[in-house]
Amino acid sequence: MTINNPIVLSADQVAIRLGLSVSTLAKMRLSGEGPVYSKLGRRVVYRPEDIDAWITSNRFKSTSEYPSSERSIV
């Protein structure tokens, strides 16, 4: 493990990388909408490859491609 290529990232590090607040990331863990994570004791950690996979799985070309649960009803 090196500083430039860590095995796991903290919730703070992931929030910064994704441009989200730590509390938003926590809410996403609670609802199951966020990236896959692991618990090491009390510590929540993320593998960089899981973050990349989550980003890839949330790619869209159009708003019509969003899952129906994410679309707002007007």
- Domain membership of residue 61 (yes or no) is no
Check: CB of residue 46 under 8 Å from CB of residue 11: yes
Query: What's 52's domain CATH number?
Result: 1.10.10
Q: How many helices (H) and strands (E) does the chain have?
A: 3, 3
- Domain membership of residue 74 (yes or no) is no
Q: Which residues pair with 6 in a beta bridge?
A: none
- Domain membership of residue 72 (yes or no) is no
Task: List pLDDT tens digits, range 3-60.
Answer: 666 799 999 999 999 999 999 999 999 999 999 999 999 999 999 999 999 999 988 8
- Domain membership of residue 21 (yes or no) is yes
Question: For the chain, what is the domain count?
Answer: 1
Q: Is the pTM of this model over 0.75?
A: yes
Q: In terms of residue numbers, what domain contains 41?
A: 1-56
Q: What are the backbone dihedrals phi and psi of residue 43, each rounded to the nearest 5 degrees, phi first? A: -85, 130
- Domain membership of residue 2 (yes or no) is yes
